[in-house]
Amino acid sequence: MLLERLRLQLASAGSLPPDVAQTQVDFLLARIAALTEALRGAGGDDTTRLATRVLLSDLALVAAQFRGRANEVGASLTGALDGIRAVMEDLAGDAGS
pLDDT score at 67: 93
Contact 55, 36 (CB under 8 A): yes
Q: Among 53, 6, 13, 8, which Cα is nearest to 28's?
A: 8
Give me the tens of pLDDT residue by residue for the chain, a chain 97 residues long. 445 555 555 545 556 788 888 899 999 999 999 999 999 988 889 999 999 999 999 999 999 999 988 999 999 999 999 999 999 999 988 877 6
pLDDT score at 1: 45
pTM of the entire predicted model:
0.68
pLDDT score at 9: 53
How far apart CA 27 and CA 3 sit, in angstroms, is 17
